[in-house]
Chain A
């Protein structure tokens, strides 16, 4: 008896004493120990290492001092993010219009050919007005921003800036009792949330990994960026005086990303203080040297891996979705189409959160892939009467305004898009990574509840204050 107890109890005693000293020092002792070890290493190295100045590593160190400094770290991060969006929006306008002109001119040609061939009206409807027009919208609205945004983002990645972002954000994550590596999984999430969820494997602690998996959805992915950019450009940009519209739109997108990041922190904090309690583990990050980006590789990676990947997914999903939406929009039960009925049924809920039935329906149908939310929405609007010829982004705005969009609808759509449930691919990844239905459900339910709650508050506040 005593033989087994004896060696343990003195240990427990010493531990208790050490613990009381540690807590008495305000938890600073651990840091002091590490700082002392580093100070020793530094003093030794000063004696034994001699380095004749190396311009390159000097330059690296100076750049790091600025990019990761307490003072400039965050403003630079913000400025870069804003700059990337501004270039994207400013640059996408012209090619977007050009692509749209070409594609919709071809639509008229197609219609003529169908008429010449004597094809029945319903076939022309499904194939040209449904399928082709859906594709044309997707390509013209989504391709130019993606083709600009992804290379810019990859450029920052290639330059070596992303690890510095993780470094800057680390102490915020620590304050939320989450792991600093979560910043890296979020960067991954900007590309694709499913990939972001899988990348959470780099986090060692299961608790922190779950937090990262559940919150990954709050960074907008490839599939949602085009939606955000399109809505911001045509609504927020248009609201401002001409000349500044791209600036305003990029400001809006930047704030949206910041809201997403703020929600990430809030949810991480809430989770680690309730159902996933625990202390954060440390982040060890080797900052790689800055490199001159390889332009060829950047363009290849961003165009092939990201732009075309997303576009292909959107096209594959949007083509049948376009056809189906057209069919549903043209099958009438009573005096309303099937889509009309469903949207009407969703209308009260949609209206309460600042959207409408069609938008909510598009988000629900967009569960397999966020890329198709805008196409579905446009097609369901177009199929229910408003047949507009596409001339410019201004027409897109007209379609939306004709369907009752206000600035509040635009804001709530963007917020909902940012915060709502993850796509099925992400959920599947969350299930594979967590191995638990319960946590997968949490990854679905938490964003859903937050999206509805935030949009509800925004919509009700704006309406009761008389802004909309």
Chain B
């Protein structure tokens, strides 16, 4: 339980998110204008609390709900197209998913422009396998004669996919159920690994051993390698900060290194 204590402390201190013991923390990510707020409101109703991210001028909304007698804390991340951290919003979303260790990350996608939206889902998948893909705006897609095969999408991604029309409440029960199962760890997840071109893959392999020694099982070393190769200054700062604040004596144990995600 010590690791949970650590992540709860990080959540409180770095993200201003005070989760009660035993409460599942759910992060809600998605592109702008995909109905993310509609999903958020539909799930939490009036049990909301809004403010700012600590030290930032970006809005932060948190809400709670109970499902199957389990308390959930839903954190609405800023709407972003990517989490490669080019803007403050992207950095907040990325840092929260990466270092806040939410129990579930729900990525809301727009069914009418899935290709662009899917990039975000793929990026999140590189950080954490504990995610649910929520394909929203299914009604609009139908209007535009777009059909999305969610079963096939689930197979392709290796994580649960739920089709919703949050405006009418369609699919929200299934979304809650899936979130619950992912949080409780009762679902088998085989997140798809992004296939990179040879050049990228080779350089990642070169860096991987050193990064595994460094981050252990706290972060996906492949993903860290990719960010370093991207020359992402903000990420290097964040990782320095969080590795430092999470560090305990005897930094990374031999065992932890073996179980790298």
Contact = CB atoms under 8 A, between A and B. Distances in A.
Contacts of B42: none
B88 interface: yes
A25 B32 contact: no
A54 B119 CA distance: 23
Contacts of B82: 284
A30 B229 contact: yes
Interface of A: 3-4, 6-8, 10-11, 13-15, 17-19, 21-22, 25, 27, 29-30, 32-38, 40-42, 44-45, 47-54, 57, 204, 281-282, 284, 286
Contact of B87 (A11, A45, A50, A281): A281
B162 to A, nearest CB: 14
Interface string B154-198: 001100000000000000000000000000000000001011110
Nearest to A280: B86
B200 A29 contact: yes
Given A6-B251, A8-B244, A18-B207, 9 more contacts: A13-B210, A14-B207, A22-B228, A25-B203, A29-B231, A44-B157, A49-B146, A54-B144, A281-B87
B149 A19 contact: no
Interface stretch (B5-13, B45-53, B63-71, B235-243): B235-243
Interface of B: 32-33, 81-82, 84, 86-88, 114-116, 118-119, 122-123, 144-150, 152-153, 156-157, 192, 194-197, 199-200, 203, 206-207, 210-211, 213-214, 225-226, 228-231, 236, 239-240, 243-244, 247, 249, 251
A54 B115 CA distance: 17
A36 B146 contact: no
Nearest to B232: A30
A45 B114 contact: yes
B226 A33 contact: yes
B209 to A, nearest CB: 10
B158 to A, nearest CB: 11
A284 B86 contact: yes
A11 B240 contact: yes
Contacts of B203: 21, 25, 29
Contacts of A44: 118, 153, 156-157
From A29, A50, A204, name the one whose CB has the most chain B CB atoms within 10 angstroms.
A29
Nearest to B210: A14
B119 A33 contact: no
A45 B200 contact: no
A355 B156 CA distance: 70
Nearest to A281: B86
A25 to B, nearest CB: 7
B77 to A, nearest CB: 16
A208 B70 CA distance: 47
27 contacts: A7-B244, A7-B247, A14-B214, A14-B228, A15-B236, A18-B225, A18-B229, A21-B207, A25-B203, A33-B196, A36-B194, A36-B195, A36-B196, A36-B200, A37-B122, A40-B195, A41-B119, A41-B122, A44-B118, A44-B156, A44-B157, A49-B114, A49-B115, A51-B145, A281-B87, A284-B82, A284-B87
Contacts of B157: 44
From A3, A17, A22, A37, name the one whose CB has the most chain B CB atoms within 10 angstroms.
A37
Contact of B210 (A17, A57, A281, A282): A17
B199 A32 contact: yes
**6 nearest A-B pairs in the assembled complex, by CB-CB distance:** A18-B228, A41-B118, A282-B86, A30-B230, A45-B115, A52-B145
A44 B249 CA distance: 44
Contacts of B32: 286
A25 B199 contact: yes
A204 B91 CA distance: 12
From A13, A14, A29, name the one whose CB has the most chain B CB atoms within 10 angstroms.
A14
A30 B231 contact: yes
Contact of B148 (A6, A29, A48, A282): A48
Contacts of B225: 18
B207 A10 contact: no
B155 to A, nearest CB: 9
Contacts of B197: 32, 35-36
A396 B162 CA distance: 71
Contact of B149 (A11, A29, A41, A48): A48
Contacts of B247: 3, 7
B156 A48 contact: yes
From B81, B157, B229, name the one whose CB has the most chain A CB atoms within 10 angstroms.
B229
A37 B147 contact: no
Contacts of A45: 114-115, 118
Contact of B200 (A14, A27, A32, A42): A32
Contacts of B200: 29, 32-33, 36
A19 B251 contact: no
Contacts of A35: 197
Contacts of A6: 251
B255 to A, nearest CB: 18
Contacts of A40: 122, 192, 194-195
Nearest to B119: A41
A281 B214 CA distance: 29
Given A18-B229, A282-B86, A50 B249 contact: no
Nearest to B239: A11
A373 B214 CA distance: 66
Contacts of A22: 228-231
B145 A54 contact: yes
A277 to B, nearest CB: 14
Contacts of A3: 247, 249
B82 to A, nearest CB: 7
Nearest to A27: B231
Nearest to A36: B196
Nearest to B213: A10
A7 B123 contact: no
Contacts of B213: 10
A279 B192 CA distance: 33
B207 A7 contact: no
A49 B148 contact: yes
A48 B146 CA distance: 10
A51 B146 contact: yes
B249 to A, nearest CB: 6
A35 B122 CA distance: 12
Contacts of A204: 87-88
B89 to A, nearest CB: 8
Contacts of A54: 144-146
